[in-house]
Structure 1
Amino acid sequence: MSQAQSTHSNLPETEFNLLEDAEDADNHTSDSTATRLSLQFQLDDSHLGLRIDQVAAIIWSEFSREKLKQWLKDGHLLVNGNTVKPKYKCEGDELLTLEVELEAQTRSLPEDIPLDIIYEDDDIMVINKPVGMVVHPGAGNSSGTLVNALLHHYPKSAELTRAGLVHRIDKDTSGLLVVAKNLEAQFALTKQLAKKSVYRLYDLVVYGNMIAGGTVDEPIKRHPVDRVKMAVLPGGKDAVTHYNVKERFQHFTRVQARLETGRTHQIRVHLSYIGYGLVGDPVYTPRVRVPAGASALLNDTLRNFKRQALHAVKLGLVHPRTQEEMMFEAPWPEDFKQLVDVLRSENAAY
């Protein structure tokens, strides 16, 4: 276990915000196979008059009712060999048959890679991802990824889409990720994302003197020329980032950003758009800006900081089984801490 803290608190629903692929730039191109599920159940008089989706949820409680409804509609869950609607009323003597293929991430190989696990139970894992670790295997990254590590730590994750991952952060962004350990947990967490009921908070350091916090509400889409980049452009997907000033330095500001939506590179794009590029960002702020009169220590620190100064520091969610509201926190990685310490020492010199 790391030094990161996990606490359970009664967070108001309005304090939760969307958790998606907000800071991800890794392309998931790994192959997948399928795990076939074949189940049968004979109903009796105790099920007379009940809706079929209600009965299925009681019988196969490891799956969400929504997932079972979808399987009914898609013809994977049959009643006496026939497709029925979720509101079908049971007569109490039907034979239920469930035949479904669960997409599995099995082509990627398990690798014994250490994981910084903040929290784990039978349903979820919360992981503090280090800088430099790619989340999903993809072009040029077939090994050494978080998926490879998950397959070794928990082999049954091979039965889940993306090995149980429900969101991603970029290779050079550090911090918290939640991983599902079963289909029901994965479905419940994905539903929380869609409902914007997951809280994620980032710490970051930007160039410039930010006076006050605010909100950036600007659409984001792929850059029309530089396909590595995202950009604020008309016709893009809605994107909202809330930000607050946490600490001011002579030529830099430490900021916390909270995502209302989750778009690729959202924080990096939005903060650059309003004139506050992230320190070390090789895509959106590629030129190192050393202020006039900076000490040799600050000069070296800035030039040697090779990744965006961005850390997913807090993660809040509702546990998919217990419905408990949970909040997790991960400490700054050493490079981020050193950067802030140097800025503080530089600031004290003025």
Structure 2
Amino acid sequence: MTSAQSSNSHSSEHDFNLFEDSEHADNHISSSSATQISLQQQLDLSYLGQRIDQVAASVWSEFSREKLKQWMKDGHLLVNGNIVKPKYKCEGDELLTLNVQLVTQTTAQAEDIPLDIVYEDDDILVINKSVGMVVHPGAGNPNGTLVNAILHHYPKSAELTRAGLVHRIDKDTSGLLVVAKNLESQFALSQQLADKSVYRLYDLIVYGQVIAGGTIDEPIKRHPVDRIKMAVLPGGRDAVTHYNVKERFQNFTRIQAQLETGRTHQIRVHFTYLGFPLVGDPVYVGRIRMPAGASPALQECLRAFKRQALHASKLGLVHPKTGEQMLFEVPWAEDFNQLVETLRRENPND
């Protein structure tokens, strides 16, 4: 297993066993830089009787079956020079030809925004996202996002849906994200997320004293009144969070949580549901909860901490090309580390 890490000096405890979502064209992308694909494959009798879309997905495994089916319908993928339906049954002697240009899939603009790159090769990019960076452009955030930065760093990412993103973390959550650099990798990573084999470990600080670790298995859906919030409600999407207690302080607890699913605000919603909301969470807590007897140093630290105390510290996955197990780890963001150190000095309760 490859391990690319820069560990926090206080994070050596045992973890869980290995295995969380513009208006102008990008100025850095032109038709001359788009990737042109021209491929041929002569079939044999080993494919006799199989659906042609299944055969194409077997022959050109770097592309998803759904993408290949679309190219068939659009006339980019031909069988003996003819357009056929994806359900066409193979006779075992066909010639497949694929001619397609990977077109720009995003209208976001490339921007020269610094990235904290933890690992990069020809297939994946692993990033330590900073606090305050929005992942994807949207209403109110047309630029200055992680996608804008990725488009500048790797212009061909414009050929991929969401510039290669396969998962996301909230604006004010820091830590690890993996980005695909080609179609094959994007499909493979998306499949790993779907089958819950990607390992995502978060550090968080909550109000209150959590007694022991456990699993939260509660469905999450959009809050019926406050549309900014998510909530644990019947009829929501399945959401599962495993967690361990790492440090207890007077009035606070440091926890490590492993995501089995990746719903919007999942960790924040689940721990609020348990009665232990995250320190600083502007959506699910609002006003600062100042414990009685807090020292001036702790009061100042809590007032200055204006985002949820949540950090994506570890990310484990199977490399989409080599099949290698990979584990990445990054240290806490500076404000998170300062909060923990202040709590330790205040009155440790372990």
Q: Tell me if TM exceeds 0.5.
A: yes
Question: What secondary structure does 1:231 align onto?
Answer: strand
* Contact 1:164 1:186 survives alignment (8 Å): yes
Give, in whole Å, the separation in 2 of the partners of 1:4 and 1:349. Answer: 28
Which deviates more from structure 2 when the two are superposed, residues 95-104 or residues 209-218?
A: 95-104
- Cα distance 1:320–1:70, how it changes in 2: closer, same or farther (>3 A)? farther
Question: What secondary structure does 2:332 align onto?
Answer: coil
Give, in whole Å, the separation in 2 of the partners of 1:339 and 1:134. Answer: 23
> Which residue does 2:46 correspond to in 1?
50
Q: Deviations over 1:65-97 (max 9, x none)?
A: 6754675588753312131556843543x3424
Question: What secondary structure does 2:344 align onto?
Answer: helix
Question: What secondary structure does 2:46 align onto?
Answer: coil
Give, in whole Å, the separation in 2 of the partners of 1:268 and 1:127. Answer: 22
Q: Structure 1 residue 287: deviation in Å?
A: 1.9
> Which residue does 2:221 correspond to in 1?
221
> Which residue does 1:8 correspond to in 2?
none
- Cα distance 1:253–1:109, how it changes in 2: closer, same or farther (>3 A)? same
Question: What secondary structure does 2:45 align onto?
Answer: coil
> Which residue does 2:344 correspond to in 1?
344
User: 5+ unaligned residues in a row in structure 2: which ranges?
Assistant: 8-15
Q: Deviations over 1:146-179 (max 9, x none)?
A: 0111011101101111100000000000000000
- Cα distance 1:253–1:58, how it changes in 2: closer, same or farther (>3 A)? closer
Q: Which amino acid aligns with 2:130?
A: P
* Contact 2:5 2:328 survives alignment (8 Å): no
Question: What secondary structure does 1:157 align onto?
Answer: helix
Give, in whole Å, the separation in 1 of the partners of 2:90 and 2:46. Answer: 5
- Cα distance 1:243–1:82, how it changes in 2: closer, same or farther (>3 A)? same
TM (norm. structure 1) is: 0.85
Q: Deviations over 1:34-58 (max 9, x none)?
A: 9796645263xxx321325676457
Q: Deviations over 1:90-134 (max 9, x none)?
A: 543x34243667563442111111100000000001000000000
Q: Which amino acid aligns with 2:40?
A: F
> Which residue does 2:153 correspond to in 1?
153
- Cα distance 1:55–1:236, how it changes in 2: closer, same or farther (>3 A)? closer
- Residue 209 (str. 1) matches residue 209 (str. 2): yes
> Which residue does 1:15 correspond to in 2?
18
Give, in whole Å, the separation in 2 of the partners of 1:348 and 1:234. Answer: 38
Q: Structure 1 residue 290: deviation in Å?
A: 1.1
> Which residue does 1:285 correspond to in 2?
285
* Contact 1:117 1:125 survives alignment (8 Å): yes
Give, in whole Å, the separation in 1 of the partners of 2:315 and 2:92. Answer: 46
Q: Structure 1 residue 60: deviation in Å?
A: 3.9
> Which residue does 1:25 correspond to in 2?
none
Q: Structure 1 residue 330: deviation in Å?
A: 0.8
- Residue 119 (str. 1) matches residue 119 (str. 2): yes
Report 1:162-181 matches (<5 A).
162-181=162-181
Q: Which amino acid aligns with 1:50?
A: S
* Contact 1:220 1:238 survives alignment (8 Å): yes
> Which residue does 2:10 correspond to in 1?
none
User: 5+ unaligned residues in a row in structure 1: which ranges?
Assistant: 6-12, 22-28
Share of identical aligned residues, percent?
71
* Contact 1:69 1:86 survives alignment (8 Å): no
Q: Structure 1 residue 338: deviation in Å?
A: 0.1
Bigger RCO of structures 1 and 2 (CA < 8 A, at least 6 apart): 1
> Which residue does 1:77 correspond to in 2?
77
Give, in whole Å, the separation in 2 of the partners of 1:131 and 1:308. Answer: 10
- Cα distance 1:14–1:311, how it changes in 2: closer, same or farther (>3 A)? closer
Aligned length: 328
Report 1:1-350 matches (<5 A).
4=6, 15-16=18-19, 20-21=20-21, 39=38, 41=40, 43=42, 47-51=43-47, 52=52, 56=56, 60=60, 62-64=62-64, 67-68=67-68, 77-80=77-80, 81-85=82-86, 88-92=89-93, 94-98=94-98, 102=102, 104-348=104-348
TM (norm. structure 2) is: 0.85
- Cα distance 1:268–1:348, how it changes in 2: closer, same or farther (>3 A)? closer
> Which residue does 2:11 correspond to in 1?
none
